[in-house]
Amino acid sequence: MITISLCMIVKNEEKVLARCLDSLEGLMDEIIIVDTGSTDRTKEIAAGYTDKIYDFEWVDDFSAARNFSFSKATSDYIYSADADEVLSTENYERFAALKQTLLPEIEIVQMKYGNQLQFGTVYNFDEEYRPKLFKRKRDFVWEEAIHETVRLVPIVYDSDIVITHMPHESHAKRDLQNFRKQIAAGKRLSPRLQDMYARELYLAKDTEELLAAESYFQQSASDPDRTTDEVKQACCIAARAARVREDAVNFLKYASKVLVQEGCSEICCEMGHFYEAVSDWEEAIIWYYNAAYETVPLLSLGAGGKDALEGLIRCYEQLGMPEQVAVYRNELGELAK
């Protein structure tokens, strides 16, 4: 049977830390808590579960903090958890069985991260596989009978364990501010981080953060080294910011950059909002319809579903067309099921 070190980085998690640790009781052989500056009872609560509590000065870098926590582990495998995660009874049993039977050649175990949509996270699906359990020391193995080479790709196992994500509040503001700091420091966001930043901005609906990010995404929209999808993401944010500022010229500039390609639900929704704001209900309906039925979302499922349908409902209400309102209200209800 393998041994497991639980490694967590925390800050001001007094509301959820005990819930997380209680759900893992008995599974972990070692618990390592790295605190990045709590001002509440987080460390006091953690002390009820382990004496391996370390302070780490926050440097706006989650990877640095996680690497520090991993450096303290001594077990065969490391389980990485966040304080707002919960393991249900059923999944506890699955995890316990995995611990008993995991083959030593497995280097990474992926588990399903669930309950995403309920809390408005940046993900457009309720479950996704994430690497959660890591072999602490990797064995290098030579392969092939001739022209031998060292295996570089890790052996990954997709388990049936589901981790339930249950945050007590949104982390969007914290994450958005961190993105701003990275950009202010002159860092060019990787494709993955730009995608995450755009999703956070689109879903958070934080006008202050949106406008603060506008210049970055304008630059990204003109960056020749960005892919087509990255440019479209940037244009979605730049267009929304321009619309919020009532800057029609820049709004149409960035919206057009997307529409001349395949378009996306987000830009169609933005066009709907643009025409709805000037009471052009018929034109707004065309764009909301396109958002819902003719294009696909790039950043948020809501743009092709709830947001678009609510736009159609508002416009048909203004036109005094109750039958159409009823149709889209029914679709909205079906979507919520």
Q: Give tens-digit pLDDT for 177-196.
A: 889 988 998 889 999 999 99
Asked whether residue 122 carries a pLDDT value surpassing 50, the answer given is no
Cα angle: 204, vertex 252, 282; to 5 degrees: 85
Q: Residues 130, 122: contact at Cβ < 8 Å?
A: no
Q: Are residues 255 and 141 in the same domain?
A: no
CATH code: domain of residue 321: 1.25.40.10
Q: Are residues 177 and 317 in the same domain?
A: yes
- Percent pLDDT > 90 in the chain is 77
Q: Are residues 107 and 190 in the same domain?
A: no
Q: Please identify, among 120, 145, 165, the residue that sits at the C-terminal boundary of a domain.
A: 165
What string of DSSP letters covers 124-163? SSS-EEEEEEEESSPPP-EE-SSS-EE--SPPEEEEEEEE
- Which range, of 144-148, 161-165, 210-214, 254-258, averages the lowest pLDDT? 144-148
Q: Are residues 68 and 120 in the same domain?
A: yes
Pairing of strands 4-10, 77-80: parallel
Q: Are residues 157 and 75 in the same domain?
A: yes
Q: Are residues 96 and 183 in the same domain?
A: no
- The runs of H, that is alpha helices, within the chain are 17-23, 42-46, 62-71, 89-101, 172-184, 191-204, 207-221, 228-244, 248-259, 265-277, 281-289, 306-318, 322-336
Q: Are residues 313 and 267 in the same domain?
A: yes
Q: Please identify, among 165, 198, 222, the residue that sits at the C-terminal boundary of a domain.
A: 165
Count of domains in the chain? 2
Q: Which residues contact 313 (CB under 8 A, 6 or more apart)?
A: 325, 328, 329, 332
Q: Please identify, among 125, 144, 165, the residue that sits at the C-terminal boundary of a domain.
A: 165
pLDDT on residue 126: 55
Q: Are residues 67 and 125 in the same domain?
A: yes
Q: Are residues 206 and 159 in the same domain?
A: no
What is the extent of the structural domain holding 285? 172-336
What's the chain's average pLDDT?
92
Mean pLDDT of 21-30: 97
pLDDT on residue 171: 65
Q: Are residues 52 and 132 in the same domain?
A: yes
Q: Are residues 158 and 205 in the same domain?
A: no
Q: Are residues 251 and 203 in the same domain?
A: yes
In the DSSP assignment, the letter for residue 292 is I
- The model's confidence at residue 248, banded by pLDDT at 50, 70 and 90, is very high
Q: What is the pLDDT of residues 26-37, one digit of tens each?
A: 999 999 999 999
Exposure class string for 21-56: b at 16+ Cβ within 10 A, else e: bebbeeebbbbbbbbbebeeebbebbeebeebbeeb
Asked whether residue 124 carries a pLDDT value surpassing 50, the answer given is no
d(C-alpha 214, C-alpha 196), whole Å: 15
Asked whether residue 173 carries a pLDDT value surpassing 80, the answer given is no
Mean pLDDT of 236-254: 97
Q: Which residues pair with 134 in a beta bridge?
A: 78, 108
Q: What is the pLDDT of residues 129-172, one digit of tens each?
A: 899 999 999 888 888 888 789 988 999 999 999 999 887 666 66
In the DSSP assignment, the letter for residue 12 is S
CATH code: domain of residue 159: 3.90.550.10
Please give the radius of gyration of the chain, using alpha carbons only, rounded to the nearest integer: 24
pLDDT on residue 147: 79
In degrees rounded to 5, what are phi and psi of residue 38?
-65, 145
